[in-house]
Structure 1
């Protein structure tokens, strides 16, 4: 980064490495300064407004089209001063952002301070969506080296990866932004405050296109170049102490339906030391899942996220947008940490794992399928040759998968049909096969006998139809039809010749 043209005047132009940036500040002598040719210093005091907000920034003139991979690197340092007071609804402090090419709306990527001096990465364009929140406050007067690779796209091709001092803190893949062009802004932008804050930026570099992930460690902490205030040491310091927090997981195995399904994460963190700042660190969250707290409705995404204890204990809801056909299982690793605000000492709980299956596998049913796919039953047993048959009971037939057995069943169906026809024409017949007797209960009245005979005839033709529909080729259906036709004639002849009573 080389500053080749500089002005502190509002609406003026600063040139860095050949790119122009517009100055946006309250036009005070301290609003913007140039400590050296690689560094810019921004300062805000109470009442320093630009365009309705407290702001001292520069805005890049280069607009990056949506879908472009942007590679951004820079160092920044918050000078010593009071802990940031932008806490509560409507409060914010932004330290660097990729702003969309519109006059309104929140940036789709911003580095912020939340809960005091805790660094957070926000991608929300309406309500905040924090992909990362540091459980520890930043160190005032220390430079942080930031590397960012981002592609703004409002579909699954979008992504954001962030490294701080060489360690990756965000790895998010999914929709980001509103499909608009973006430009870089650095400085301080915040809600109304009476505090004085100064931030230094140096070594800004921006490129586009594919780039390798940073591998070298980040910058060595550097003392501030021009601090405005010296932190005041307390008269008495509490003894260094920190208590290991307690992490409670209600269920270490959860399932959630995709396409918007939700499940309670069932997690709590507690401590016996009310002085400690407690947070929950979660790793392993897949791209198709997110976690929302019930305290302020913030939604967290990414493989490495951190939530404050109040957010955790308000209740956490895991949401899945999985749209595939499998049953993916995610292993979430949860670790609670406590930080002593005076000494910075940290104590952590033992990690716990929650496995989340998405979606839950369905219960399999055992089925038996016929050879031709026409009938399916549950644990169906083949009908035995000796099963008694009445005119009011329907019979389900399930041939097996072997053609030899299917052919045998076809022959059995034909024999059974002929036997039933014989009963129809000779009610005195008492069996369906020679292997077993099957009594037929005839009614006392001729009209009843006629009804029973008609039913037997209907059943016999139904059985023959099944036989003809399912035969395997070893039985000639034309011969069966001819035989039935001839048997019908014989039956009626016998009926007419028999004495009537």
Structure 2
């Protein structure tokens, strides 16, 4: 099972389709973050991930994405996608249970304008094939919250389905040279009991109720740098982002904080 320890094998039936998609990726198990289970690193180069100081001196996780960083075994190179990310393995967030999450992301002052090139900085996904329910991404100069349409399953990764909602959180320029703190409160559900709330630097930006996942599998968190659907001649500039304060808990007090 992709190099996972024997104690994980009992999960094989539940998340088989998830691990099939990652079995041929160069991954390394990484120490668990607060409140989460273990994470694995999906990368292609030695420079892709380090624990290092951010420009303000904060000790953090440093991700670097360069053009062509797309492990051949993932198919990313044939799908106009590049990535260096950590993804939560187990345990994942169960449906119809309330969770609080937090992460802080720092992008440098020379972060390039990307236009229509979609760059994800934080994602919530489900085990199995399909589009992630919630994406945090820089698009056209804005850091955007995107909720997928829970009524429709993603068929082709090269033909992304329109999201149910897109909500601007802040501008990319406002994120440069500083930490942006994201707090999420969610009940992942296919029923009207579902909800998701998002705060950015302490200010509430998102408050949605209703179904927010499209299948009956757990939800897991990913973070790093993921650049997708590059247009010809775009997206060739290296991207660097730092993360800290990766937390999950049952109350806001257990996770919240600027870093």
Q: What TM-score do you get using the length of structure 1 for normalisation?
A: 0.38
Shift in alpha-carbon separation, 1:38–1:74, aligned structure 2, 3 A: farther
CA distance in 1, matches of 2:33, 2:135: 23
Which has the larger strand fraction?
2
1:197 corresponds in structure 2 to 239
Q: How does 1:336-355 map to 2 (within 5 A)?
A: none
Residue 122 (1) aligns with residue 146 (2): yes
CA distance in 2, matches of 1:158, 1:92: 27
Encode CA deviations 1:362-409: one digit per residue, 9 max, x unaligned. xxxxxxxxxxxxxxxxxxxxxxxxxxxxxxxxxxxxxxxxxxxxxxxx
Maintained 8 Å contact 1:38/1:203? no
CA distance in 2, matches of 1:55, 1:86: 18
Q: How does 1:25-174 map to 2 (within 5 A)?
A: 25-26=43-44, 28-35=45-52, 39-50=60-71, 51=74, 52=76, 53-61=81-89, 62-87=91-116, 91-102=117-128, 104-116=129-141, 118-125=142-149, 126-134=161-169, 136-137=171-172, 138-174=174-210
Maintained 8 Å contact 2:169/2:205? no
1:11 corresponds in structure 2 to 27
Structure exhibiting the larger radius of gyration computed from Cα positions: 1
Shift in alpha-carbon separation, 1:128–1:190, aligned structure 2, 3 A: farther
Q: How does 1:57-456 map to 2 (within 5 A)?
A: 57-61=85-89, 62-87=91-116, 91-102=117-128, 104-116=129-141, 118-125=142-149, 126-134=161-169, 136-137=171-172, 138-179=174-215, 180-191=217-228, 192=230, 193-208=235-250, 211-212=251-252, 219=258
CA distance in 2, matches of 1:204, 1:136: 22
CA distance in 2, matches of 1:83, 1:199: 12
CA distance in 2, matches of 1:169, 1:115: 19
SS at match of 2:198: strand
Shift of 1:121: 0.4
Cα RMSD for the two superposed structures: 2.5
Alignment gaps of 5+ in structure 1:
1-8, 221-501
Shift in alpha-carbon separation, 1:204–1:133, aligned structure 2, 3 A: same
Q: What TM-score do you get using the length of structure 2 for normalisation?
A: 0.71
Alignment gaps of 5+ in structure 2:
1-24, 150-160
Shift of 1:11: 0.8
CA distance in 2, matches of 1:114, 1:213: 31
Maintained 8 Å contact 1:131/1:170? no
SS at match of 2:123: strand
Maintained 8 Å contact 1:123/1:129? yes
Query: Relative contact order: is structure 1 or structure 2 higher (C-alpha 8 Å, sep ≥ 6)?
Result: 2
Encode CA deviations 1:171-226: one digit per residue, 9 max, x unaligned. 11111011321111110111132121111100111124xx3589x8x639xxxxxx
